[in-house]
Structure 1
Amino acid sequence: MRSFLVNSLWVSLAAASVAVRSPDFVSYDGYKVFRVKTGRQLAAVQQKLSALTYDKWNHDIDRHIDILISPDQLATFESLGLDFHTMHENLGNSIHEESASGSPWKRQANSSWFDSYHPYEDHLAYLDELSKGFKDNSEIISSGTSYEGRDIKGIHLWGSGGPGKPAVLYHGTVHAREWISAPVVEYIATQLISGYKSGDALSKSFLDAYDFYIIPFVNPDGFVHSQKVERLWRKNRQPGPRNSTCFGRDINRNWAFGWNANPLGASTNPCSQTYKGEAPSDTPENQGLDALVHKLRDGAGIKLYIDWHSYGQYILSPYGYNETLYAPELGKWTKAASIVSETIRDSSAARTTFTFGPSGATLYTTTGAAPDHVYEVGKAAFSYTIELRDTGDFGFVLPPSQIRGTAEEQWEGQKVLLQLLDEEFFDGVGPAIFV
């Protein structure tokens, strides 16, 4: 196994792999998650599903619907005669297994950090230790504070000549329940640091060419809430507008660019999972993140932006708000994504496959989304959403046994993508055409 620890990491964290749960923790004992096939019969399937009460597990797409069914609705669901497979036989058991205690993380060559999920406070300690072990070439940064007052903490890395190079900006845990995104970006940070310190030529070339700004928790309040109270929580924890009893805005529907461009791209209902807020950038999280985007744009510029999510295994580029609008850079974005997808597949024992293309045309419509904003307003040369594992066996509750493999394959993909940022590679590559 490749050694990936920074030598100076020595902190010992608590044995529990996730935070202590609140007495109000929502139990999903007996709940099941199903993937219902729709093909071209989406409307007909939705009509049948209207006979029961269910929660969407994820967004509808044109081939299937993933849904969460409570025990009292199971008999009705099974009577509908739908074509489906079971993602979670008992979601409560899956959540329990996901949150089972892991080994303490200590300074050791065979670290268990990427073998289990961890409490939010332990992630902050891990980030601090990474910076301490690379003290001449890193700093801990904050892009502001969350609604509940938590720092939106990240790490800034650079190479020879000091900071001030074009930026690579990574956002993780935008949606609280997407736990896999934080360890993935932490793994990339760890690899960059350990490679640079050991003299690895590739890692040195990356850090000498770019400043990396890596923020594992864009939505810290939501993540803590997902660990302690509601595992499937998605949004931030900001109260809704007056007269609403619902909480939370979807940070990835709250960016200013394209915020109101398409009524299909977000919700105006404060209780919806995709509630976009009352006004563009009316979340404190987004305001701080956008200030950082402007700062980087007005400095040496943003070379690459990635918004890390789960699940579905997609590499998506702008635009999300219009499924027929393609950016002039789409040809090079698509070429790069295809190479990254192929690299991930070939490097992964699981042969993990990623679908790629413009977001609105490839997946579904999104307004006020980060990649569109960071491209249009932040002037990023490359801008993507990456939806991590898996494609529908586990979804948001990805087993801890898949953390390391997910992180490793993404590092392989980033090693290729970071080399492809050289514009000369794309000379002669025109706009991609989609039909």
Structure 2
Amino acid sequence: MEYHVRDLQLAELGKRRIEWAERDMPVLRSIRERFAKEKPFVGVRISACLHVTTETANLMITLKEGGAEVFLTASNPLSTQDDVAAALVHYFGIPVFAIKGEDRDTYYSHLHAVIRKEPHIVIDDGADLISTLHREYPQLAQKILGGMEETTTGVIRLRAMAERGVLLFPVIAVNDAMTKHMFDNRYGTGQSTIDGILRATNRLIAGSTFVVAGYGWCGKGVAQRARGMGATVVVTEVDPIKALEAKMDGFLVMPMIEAAKIGDFFVTVTGNTSVIREEHFKVMKDGAIISNAGHFDVEIDIKALEKLSVGKREVRNFVEEYTLYDGRRIYLLAQGRLVNLASAEGHPASVMDMSFANQALCAEYILKHHSQLERKVYKVPREIDTQVAQLKLASMGVQIDQLTPEQLSYLSSWEIGT
């Protein structure tokens, strides 16, 4: 079996950690049990570009239980858990191409490795796999039944491709499922980003000024958790509606140039480029800590920071100290990459349970309905989103009401007035 991981001797530790995560993923477990009986993916090859974590491992195992031939590569050079990669290869026979800390050339060689398996279905996190397919393997891309995308950043890229008429197969935006972005982005990113900052720095958040750039679902989660830990939270935004929402939620709202002067911690979660730039570095306090929880390492202008610096050193794992020309020090976490996955373990399994349940069910949906789908980006079918929510509630022992026939009639009527 072809694979590329750091060390197979890490496999036993990875297996135990995969099992620990599985205990908190009851929705995916129920889908796996059905897949194991029905084998819907027999003869189907699935290539995935995802963060190689314990939760992702359980998705890969679920798809393989369903009969698929599965191949996995990392969607971020720093997010791979090497013990998990080893366990998937050694214990589950799943080819993995991922090493934590791999350079850019290795990262793309791993992408090419899973593409060359000629998949029928692709699963992406950030759209690097799909965009590489389109740029370098257009003939192969035309044969793919469909794909899924996990992140806001990736969905933006894929919708741009669809609007320009260059997308060669249908893609389901799993990121946009209510059971994904409302929970994964808000609760998952909120908790894991704080976790990553704490593991990297061991600094006290209470009493600090904590700046969150972007007030989408991820930004909301980070802002809520930082406030819960005692910080004064500042939100920066370019969208007036989101800025207004942040203000009404009780956060300070101001431009980044003003927030830069007072912030102790900074987190970017916008999906855009150069959110923290040269003019911001110039006014930051000595000791400011900057990090990113958006998908790509472009939100912090690292080249501008290096240009302003006279010295650079690693003072802790995932903490780089930049000394500026005037003696001020700015600390960059995880090289500007996803701090929650680079210096921590990513989202809790109970959150990823819903995200990856959506992935598994959408893969099955594509297999069944690909001939009716156009080359565009689709929302997750409502019935899948609802099914995931129902399974999650059942796993938590929560029951809800059902509409009565009278209520159903009332909601569908226009004749009943005051």
Q: Same fold (TM over 0.5)?
A: no
Larger Rg: 2
Pick the structure with more helix per residue.
2
**TM-score normalized with structure 2 length:** 0.29
